[in-house]
Each structure stands twice: as C-alpha cells, then as structure tokens.
Amino acid sequence: MDKIKVTQELADQLKTTLMDVQQPIAKRFRALFTLRNLGGSLCIDAMTEALKDDSALLRHEIAYCLGQMTDNRALDVLIELVKNTTEHPMVRHEAAEALGAIADPRAFDILKEFSADETKEVAETCQLAVSRVDWYTKNEPESIDNKTYLSVDPAPALGSGVSFGAVKDQFLDGDLDIFNRYRALFSLRDIGDEKSVLALCDGFKDKSALLKHEVAFVLGQLQHRAALPALTEVLLDESESAMVRHEAAEALGAIASTETIPLLERLTKDKEAIVSESCEIALDVTDYFNNTEEFQYADGIKLLSEKSNPQISN
C-alpha cells in the first residue's frame, strides 16, 4: 500500500473523531491508531491535544502509541506525563514505557529520578525503561524491535540458546529485577507454543501488577486459546489492578473467541471505567476478526495496532 500523505485536513479530521466524547470509545481508538500508523508531527500534535480527555484509558493508549512511533518529537510531552504525579498511574506508567521505546538519552535522567516513585507500577516501569535505554545504546535496534509482532518491546528476548526451563524459571523469579524478568517473558512469547502460553499464565500469580499486565498484553499478541481461562479469571477479579484487567479484556478481544462475547458485553457495565471501556474495545476487535469482510476500515488504513493484531502492519 502506498504511503498516505498526511495533510492538516486529514489530521484534523482524525483528531475530531479522537476527541469526540459522543463517539463510541472503539471508534475513537480506531482514529488514534490511524494517527499512530500515519505518523509525523501533525499526527503527534493531534494525539497530544487529545491528552486533555477525561478517559484514563484513552490517555494511556495515546502514550503507548507515541512510544510505538519512536519519534523523539513526542519526548517532551511524555516526560511531562511521567513527572505529573496527579496523572493516573497507568498513564504515567505508559509514558515511561514510551520513553524507553523511543530510547532517547535525554529522557534518562527523568527515568532515573522516577525509578523511586512512590507508585510501584511507575517506579518499576521507569527502572525497566532505564535498562532498555542502556541496552539500546549498546546494541543494534533489531535486538529489541520485534519483527514478528511489529512492536517495540520494553525488553529484548533472551538468546535462542537458553533452555525453556531456564527461561521459565527466570520469568517466575520474583527476586530478579524487572528488566531480566521481562526478557524471559518476551522469550516465552517468541517461543509461542502452548506450554509457553501456560507458563506465561503462571505469571498472573505474581505480586507485580506491571508484570501481570505485560503477561496479558503478550497473550493478546499470541492469540492462543489456551490463555482463555486465565485471562477470563483475571478480568473477573475485581480485586486485581485495573491495568491488569484492562489488558486481559483486550487480550480476550484479540483471541476473538465468540464464547467470551457475553462476558465482555456484561463487563462493559463494570464499575471501573478503565475495564468497561476496555471491554468495549475488545468487542470491537472480536467483531473485526469474526467479520473481516464486512468490517472495513476507512481508506484501507489498518487501524488496529499490533496490540490487537500481530498480523497487521503499519
């Protein structure tokens, strides 16, 4: 597909949809991922303006998209999000992860400073991002940017010579730092068979909400039905962190099993807005996968990210 020229008119049109609170959250997300996929300063400006929105889920997704674009023109706005202690922790976490994805050394000091943040998820993400920036400065980008899932991963997978048992043990070792546990996590994802999926599901027993949310994320990338019971259990657990339940909902949407539709529909009424909105997104993604011919996106632009569909390319 030829590269689409991003004009001010196109960017404004997408921004209008993105910021229209009367639109379903799923439609607004499609506009967001279109902006992400198109890229460039006009799209970054449109996404940045939408950070005024009341939806923490949308703001967090904007931060995610800015990181996946790996455009250092988003650096300043992401730094401000991390520094803003009144912002929702999930948004700050995603902004820190985005700074790690961009890997600009200018963010290093801020990430180091907030590695001791009082919010554990923010602190752990900053620690992770510091390690990623350090890794990026010493290694080729290909060692981190995943070509199969078209994602900029928070940590590189381990080498192929590490045994499955060793990878699993490293992933489940709560005494290890978060960066090395993430390395094992992404190794399990890259192996991708059923035993790896089940090993990832064991991660839901961990104390770290950050680790558990990433487990749910990669299970969505893998789209393996063996993850359905664990993801369902996590989504239903009202005592679980909203950021974990959110990722579990979107992962169920990516797996696109029609048997989960009633659950997702019911939880669009969940008392936690992040969860209810995530279930709306998940239903939209499920509809996409089950009605590919009928569900057409405007102008042939692929609007879902690799987060929902590892086969979709930019």
Residue list for the binding site = 60-61, 93-94, 213-214, 246-247
Of the candidates 228, 206, 210, 211, the residue with the CA atom closest to the CA atom of residue 219: 228
Alpha-carbon dihedral 272, 277, 282, 285, rounded to 10 degrees = -170
What is the DSSP secondary-structure string of 23-59?
Answer: S-HHHHHHHHHHHHHH-SHHHHHHHHHGGGSS-HHHH
Q: Are 221 and 310 in contact (CB under 8 A)?
A: yes
Burial of 2 (0-12, 13-18, 19+ CB in 10 A): exposed
Of the candidates 96, 101, 98, the residue with the CA atom closest to the CA atom of residue 112: 96
How many whole angstroms separate alpha carbon 77 and alpha carbon 132? 20
Residue whose token pair is 């001010």: 8
Alpha-carbon separation of residue 265 from 25, 131, 244, 259 (angstroms): 14, 39, 18, 11
How many whole angstroms separate alpha carbon 34 and alpha carbon 210? 27
Contacts of 117 (CB under 8 A, 6+ apart): 85, 92, 123, 126
Residues in the annotated binding site for Fe cation: 60-61, 93-94, 213-214, 246-247
Take residue 136 and report the two structure tokens written for it.
């990026």
Take residue 308 and report the two structure tokens written for it.
């929902």
Q: Are 155 and 183 in contact (CB under 8 A)?
A: yes
